[in-house]
Amino acid sequence: DIQMTQSPASLSASLEEIVTITCQASQDIGNWLAWYQQKPGKSPQLLIYDATSLADGVPSRFSGSRSGTQYSLKISRLQVEDIGSYYCQQAHSNPWTFGGGTKLELK
Amino acid sequence: EVQLVESGGGLVQPGRSLKLSCAASGFTFSNYYMAWVRQAPKKGLEWVATISTSGSRTYYPDSVKGRFTISRDNAKSSLYLQMNSLKSEDTATYYCARTTYYFDYWGQGVMVTVSS
């Protein structure tokens, strides 16, 4: 199975700050990676797919990038509505696996 | 607007069975693969099952293979998850999701608690 190691597990940041979350795949997954946002008490929502493509309706302050088997989600200017948990997911091969999650809080 | 509404959750004893349902609307259900993803309390996300458009192909992780069965009724735009031989570690919120490798729409989730 492909392991997705996500870091940090938790993160405290200030409004307007730049936030970066990373995910390390245990093997090559190409661009088969997605990022999800889960606000407190809500269902997850797709943010980024194919490592760098923004899902419909997602603000442009969110972006995804890839360097080898390391993937990053960047929030350029943190807003209060961005608070919640974030998960990466590989779609390269069965079983589809998620990272452990990053809980983002306001400082 | 895409809507996915799960039902059928509840409290069940270990070893017993439960069947979840998901009613879909706002898109052509028969054109999409569908999936179930679960989240144990205060934990991360775990993919549970995927089914092809016709229902002829199904996919499961080892953690539920042989115990869970995903199915669909395209005429009713409905997705199902039959869960047998339930264990305490199956306690989670179960989400129905539309999938195209990624999970692009999710339901609100339904809670399943396995406890004696």
Note down pLDDT in tens along chain A; length 107 residues. 999 999 999 999 999 999 999 999 999 999 999 999 999 999 999 999 999 999 999 999 999 999 999 999 999 999 999 999 999 999 999 999 999 999 999 99
- For residue A27, give both structure tokens: 């093997």
* Contact in structure between B91 and B113 (CB atoms under 8 Å): yes
Mean pLDDT to the nearest integer, B21-29: 98
pLDDT of residue A12: 96
The answer to whether the CB atoms of A34 and B102 lie below 8 A apart is yes
User: Is A102 at the interface with chain B, CB within 8 A?
Assistant: no
Interface test with B, best of A21, A35, A96, A98 (most B CBs within 10 A): A96
CB contact under 8 A, B44 and A100: yes
Q: What is the pLDDT of residues B32-87, one digit of tens each?
A: 999 999 999 999 999 999 999 999 999 999 999 999 999 999 999 999 999 999 99
Tally C-beta pairs within 8 A across A and B.
47
Q: Is 90 exceeded by the pLDDT of residue B101?
A: no
Q: Is the pLDDT of residue B100 over 90?
A: no
User: What SS3 string covers A27-40?
Assistant: CCCCCCEEEEEECC
Give residues with Cβ within 8 angstroms of B5, minimum separation 6. B22, B23, B96, B107, B108
How far B65 CA sits from the closest chain A CA (Å)? 11
Q: What is the distance in angstroms between the Cα of A96 and the nearest Cα belonging to chain B?
A: 6
Mutate to test the interface with A, among B4, B45, B70 (most CBs of A within 10 A): B45
- Residue B28: is it exposed, middle or buried by C-beta count within 10 angstroms (0-12/13-18/19+)? exposed
Percent of chain B with pLDDT over 90: 98
